[in-house]
Structure 1
Amino acid sequence: MKKYILFIVILASAFAKAQDTPISAFLEKWENSKNYLLEMAAAMPEDKYDYKPTERQKTFRDQLLHIKSNMDWLSGRYFEKDETKERKEETYTTKAEVMKAITEGFDNTAKIIKTATPEELKDMVPFFAGQKTKLQILNLLQDHVTHHRGQLIVYLNLNGIKPPKYRGW
């Protein structure tokens, strides 16, 4: 009986460890990041989607679409191995279209990343900033969203809109 219980504990521990990989951790954070960004997108009134604090900055809409195009490019080029994948910022005219595009971008990236293996994250890939591992590209995916989301918090505050409450995980 003790051997049986020990076997179950070891099996459960192994299963739990298998679930706690950089990929599973990324996917958990990625879903939260999507929801947090969508809350920000929803908080900004549609008539403020063309707002930009200064002439050299992107509009609120353009920031969101830049986030989407970057995630499409990084996940497609480096995880789907589509060497022809280029950054392409599409035009969406309504708030609903932008929010739908953001959702699709996050969901498509998650679908692509789910096919990666922990071993694959060690692979080196050519990047404009020099050779990087796929793990570094994975980190860049989230870091880029965070960078632009921080800018969007400022846009909301400058318009007197309280940003959604931050949550880290």
Structure 2
Amino acid sequence: MIVKKLLLITFFLFAVNSFAQQANAKDAFLVKWENSKDYLIAISEAMPEDNYSFKPTERQMSFKEQLIHIKGNMDWLSTSYFSEEEFKKEVSDIPATKKETIALVSNAFDFVSEIIKNTSEAELNETVSFFSGPKSKLQILNLLQDHVTHHRGQLIVYLNLNEIEPPQYVGW
């Protein structure tokens, strides 16, 4: 009887702790963000360097340009809405190598993580001015992830068009 009660109490405490962790939007985002990084890096690694200039059509970005675009959006949203800095879009050279491109993307993910770690949960409810109308900072977080997901989906198509099997999904 005592063992059953201890097991029930342990289960209850675990369930409450688990629920509390999931109720924190910032922590949930950071876990998802790290998985998103891992998956995008795996996709980036899967494409041979010779194919980084691949474009399905002339009007689309190349594989490398897609990655740099994802990085630029991360820089813009995280700096503009989660820091005191004014975002200045830099015209920078496209990295020469696959390794440099992946490092830039990886560093951009880490930059977002650090900024969000230093953002209070209460700040996520703050409303900011956005070009499409007022948004909460939580909506900006969702936009960060949604933008990565959108372009990552395109990169999966690029892999498939080159007969490269995409990596196993990492998302939970």
TM-score range, shorter chain: 0.7 to 0.9
Structure 2 counterparts to residues 70-149 of structure 1, below 5 A: 70-82=73-85, 84-88=86-90, 90=92, 91-149=94-152
Q: For residues 118 and 50 of structure 2, what CA distance do their matches in structure 1 show?
A: 39
Instruction: Give the gaps of 5 or more residues in structure 2.
Output: 1-8
Q: For residues 45 and 14 of structure 1, what CA distance do their matches in structure 2 show?
A: 44
Matched, 1:62 2:62: no
SS in 1 for 2:40: helix
Q: Which residue of 1 aligns with 2:6?
A: none
SS in 2 for 1:129: coil
Does the 8 Å contact 1:156/1:162 carry over to 2? Answer: yes
Does the 8 Å contact 1:69/1:89 carry over to 2? Answer: no
Instruction: Give the gaps of 5 or more residues in structure 1.
Output: 1-5
- Taking only aligned residues, the RMSD between alpha carbons, in angstroms, comes to 2.1
Structure 2 counterparts to residues 20-59 of structure 1, below 5 A: 20-59=23-62
Does the 8 Å contact 2:43/2:166 carry over to 1? Answer: yes
Q: For residues 63 and 108 of structure 1, what CA distance do their matches in structure 2 show?
A: 19
SS in 1 for 2:83: coil
4+ aligned runs moved over 4 Å, structure 1: 12-16
Spell out, residue by residue over 1:12-34, the C-alpha distance to the aligned partner (whole angstroms, 9 max, x if none): 94696257411000000000000
The CA deviation at 1:163 is 0.3
Does the 8 Å contact 1:70/1:87 carry over to 2? Answer: no
| Number of aligned positions between the proteins | 162
TM-score (norm 2): 0.86
The CA deviation at 1:168 is 2.6
TM-score (norm 1): 0.88
Q: For residues 15 and 163 of structure 1, what CA distance do their matches in structure 2 show?
A: 32
Percent identity reads 54
